[in-house]
Chains A and B, each alone.
Chain A
Amino acid sequence: MKHKPIIFRLLETDKGGRYFLAVILALMVIVPFCNLVVPETSAFHMSTYVVTLVGKYLTYALLAISLDLVWGYLGILSLGHGAFFGLGGYAMGMYLMRQIGDRGVYGHPVLPDFMVFLNYKELPWFWHGFDMFWFAFIMIFFVPGLLAFVFGWLAFRSRVTGVYLSIITQALTYALMLAFFRNNFGFGGNNGLTDFKDILGFDLQSDATRVALFICSGLAVILGYLICKFIVQSRLGSLVTAIRDSEGRVRALGYRDEYIKLFVFVVAAMLAGLAGALYVPQVGIINPGEFSPINSIEMVIWVAIGGRGTLYGAALGAVVVNFAKTYFTAAAPEVWLFMLGGLFVFVTLFLPKGIVGAVKNFASKSGKKIEPDANKANVG
């Protein structure tokens, strides 16, 4: 019992999680196989477009998992989670811009095209270091983490909660959007960062690179899931849900609730940053639109639809909604937003625990033995 590897202990009581990880692992084998090995003439061939699309969904899944940690477990409805995703994306975008080198339209050896166009004479200080991958890799976690730390420190210490906190998170991402839209802010204004050429020396347009990015996204989802699972299964995780349910009692027990909230918020921001960093090379662009409040609200809808407080439910919601979005924005673009709104209302009214909750409910009604909740498992 005691000496099982940690991964088994994490998943012992988490049936849904085992299925979820199995599906991700299967995708990581099947998708590359169908793309690289199966000949294009075969019906089972998967185009690179599809590989990238599914890869994008995976980054959204990671983003949703990180949001679920904050909303489903800690009880903070963050309407600005896109801020951390966007910052991680920009950090990766800056690295990819520096990789272009002198192959840009203007052929400047150091400055990216938009800087030449805007008459920059030299690289702004905050662009230094991004020509090195290791530096960019650290920044992918550090920048979103730092913002979450400062924001959380101020908000949690002064005990801002509930709707007020949600509104401030919304304002946070809106402020970032306005800042990044400005040309003189140094991040390419409303065009954002694009025209990427390669990553770590590999051509971004090649099938192999796309498949590698897809596999990295899958690994990131698994890693993110296990990290979140480790947190929610620990005593800290019990405290996190205890804060959600009865913050005053946690404080009366002598815990510094603000530090616990801060820890969870920063971890979630870093995972969102990683998701953003994997998203950018796959879609080939990052612009201030990623910071728009609507995006952050959409993420909340993914989690609500999938089912909060299970982690894998959030990931499922992200994939389902985005698959529908891809399909309907092509088939009937003018109705998509109405559908999304309608779906949200439907789920709130009829499936308060999301798809996962509905499935569990159905399973228990049809007499199947339902696995005990993670909370109830570690007794005695």
Chain B
Amino acid sequence: MAITNVNEPSALHLPDESILYLDGVTVSFDGFKAINNLSLYVNKNELRSIIGPNGAGKTTMMDIITGKTRPDEGRVIFDDMTDLTVTSEADIANLGIGRKFQKPTVFENHTVFENLKLALEGRRKVFENLFFKLTEEDKDRIHEVLEIIALQEYLSREAGELSHGQKQWLEIGMLLMQNPKLLLVDEPVAGMTKQESEHTAELLTKLAEKHSVVVVEHDMEFVRSLANRVTVLHQGSVLAEGSMDSVQNNQKVIEVYLGEQ
């Protein structure tokens, strides 16, 4: 694996409680700065919500962390001092960063069981997969996750037949199978019913007990129900950070975002 450790003397050491640090990240598309000198910490076992108006750079930020987009400037330091801006997408995933996409992305022609099986931790090489055998631990792990995402009864159903909300949960379940240190969750409750949203909030809060979770969301009520630290992005940088109440009372935030509502 081509993992670059940031070992220069000038390297900034992460505080022990941090898992992710974005350091002065800038990226522009055709002259438009989607992310502008963004700096951000995420702590271990923290559940962090990121909000911001359309075009604030939320999804671009996720793309940079997962290696899909490379920044023009800045570094993204993860866990054991790895600079993610020079690490391949697959290696980033294997370091322990799982991502849920904005649009539910599961394997629609595979069963729920098969989806989770493909997400099982480790065994990523071609020949390991050609001669793959499901162990008892693997099965236990899959059933454990099935229970968490409440899809036990659907295990042999094709993922394409699931409801929108169930697909979102399946995708979160796939992230859990990977056993990542950090989960990036992009708009988990888009298109969900109120009941499904509530279940998702419970699910994410539970996940944050063992993993760090970063949630990007539009739905204010949902973010409030998570009751955690909120970061407001605006024009590619951090505008405000704090509890939902403090953020909502922040004058700048009201002007750019909440004032519109």
Contacts and interface: CB of A to CB of B under 8 A. Distances in A.
A70 to B, nearest CB: 16
Contacts, number: 92
Counting chain B CB atoms within 10 Å of each CB, the highest count among A230, A245, A249, A263 belongs to: A249
A379 B107 CA distance: 16
B114 to A, nearest CB: 6
Given A236-B126, A256-B90, A246 B117 contact: no
B108 A245 contact: yes
B94 interface: yes
Interface string B120-132: 0001111001111
A260 B126 contact: yes
Contact of B178 (A253, A259, A378): A253
A238 B66 CA distance: 24
Nearest to A257: B90
A256 B127 CA distance: 12
Interface string B93-132: 1100011010001111111011001110001111001111
B93 A252 contact: yes
A246 B105 contact: yes
Interface in B154-176: 155-156, 158, 174
Interface of A is mostly: helix
Contacts of A248: 101, 105
Contact of B114 (A230, A238, A250, A255): A238
Interface in B126-149: 126, 129-132, 134, 139
A116 B99 CA distance: 65
A176 interface: no
B131 to A, nearest CB: 7
Contact of A242 (B118, B134, B156): B118
Contacts of B126: 236, 259-260, 263
A254 B105 contact: no
B174 A234 contact: no
B90 A251 contact: yes
Given A256-B124, A375-B114, A380-B139, A235 B129 contact: yes
A380 B90 contact: no
Contacts of B105: 246, 248-249, 252
A235 B130 CA distance: 6
A239 interface: yes
Interface in A346-379: 375-376, 378-379
A260 B124 CA distance: 10
A161 to B, nearest CB: 15
A251 B93 contact: yes
Interface of A: 230-231, 234-236, 238-239, 241-242, 245-246, 248-256, 259-260, 263, 375-376, 378-380
10 contacts: A241-B107, A251-B93, A254-B124, A256-B90, A260-B126, A260-B129, A263-B126, A375-B109, A376-B114, A378-B114
